[in-house]
Copies of this chain bind each other. A is one copy, B any other.
Amino acid sequence: MSVPAHLADVVAAARVRVAALHAELPRYGLVVWTAGNVSERVRDETDASGGSDLLVIKPSGVSYDDLTPEAMVVCDLDGELLDGDRSPSSDTAAHAYVYRHMRDVGGVVHTHSTYATAWAARREPVPCVLTMMADEFGGEIPIGPFALIGDDSIGRGIVETLRSSRSPAVLMANHGPFTIGADARAAVKAAVMCEEVARTVHIARQLGDPHPVDQSDVDSLYARYQNVYGQHEGQR
Contacts and interface: CB of A to CB of B under 8 A. Distances in A.
Contact of A211 (B61, B121, B132, B217): B121
A73 to B, nearest CB: 11
Interface string A201-215: 111111111110100
A146 B216 CA distance: 13
A86 interface: yes
A149 B200 contact: no
Contacts of A121: 129-130, 200-201, 204, 210-211
Interface in A91-137: 112, 114-115, 117-119, 121-124, 129-132
A1 interface: no
B114 A199 contact: yes
A15 interface: no
B124 A208 contact: yes
A112 B132 contact: yes
A220 to B, nearest CB: 6
A32 B193 contact: yes
A234 to B, nearest CB: 10
Contacts of A165: none
Contact of A174 (B63, B115, B210): B210
Contact of A87 (B189, B208, B231): B231
A33 B193 contact: yes
User: How many subunits of this chain does the assembly comprise?
Assistant: 4
Contact of A61 (B115, B119, B213, B230): B230
A61 B149 contact: no
A60 interface: yes
A131 B90 CA distance: 13
A48 interface: no
Contacts of A32: 28, 192-193, 196
A202 B207 contact: yes
A188 to B, nearest CB: 9
A60 B229 contact: yes
B175 A131 contact: yes
A113 B59 CA distance: 29
Give 9 closest A-B pairs by Cβ, nearest first: A61-B230, A121-B204, A118-B204, A121-B210, A118-B203, A131-B175, A61-B235, A123-B211, A121-B129
A235 B204 contact: no
